[in-house]
Amino acid sequence: MRPEPAFEAPWHAQLFALTVHLNEAGLFAWPDWAARFGATLKQNGLERDLNGGDDYFAAWLETLETLLADSGAAAPDAVQQMRAKWEAAYLRTPHGMAVKL
């Protein structure tokens, strides 16, 4: 029997790895990250139960984007531009193929 994957979707794993990398690169301290993420989960969880999948990692992404904006590491307009580029690339990529910018 094969073990279940640790992440429900590839982007969950990628976002987790990116966050760990940014922490290890010194862009933020993990306790600050954890406190902010906890606050985001609490805020989002008040509206509905989080299922631990896409909604959980959407909250994770929201926290990371806010943390990087607050620290000056990523300007909100640059984040929005990159998000739009990724969305366009995703929409033009055939199912099952790697997304490329």
Please give the residue range of the domain that contains residue 28.
10-74
Residue 48 lies in a domain: yes
| Interval 7-46: pLDDT, tens | 888 888 999 999 999 999 999 999 999 999 999 988 877 6
pLDDT at 50: 62
pLDDT at 78: 86
Number of neighbours of residue 32 by Cβ within 10 angstroms: 13
Counting the structural domains of the chain, the total is 1
Residue 4 lies in a domain: no
Residue 55 lies in a domain: yes
Give CA separation, 57 vs 2, 61, 76, 97, in Å. 24, 6, 19, 22
Residue 45 lies in a domain: yes
Residue 62 lies in a domain: yes
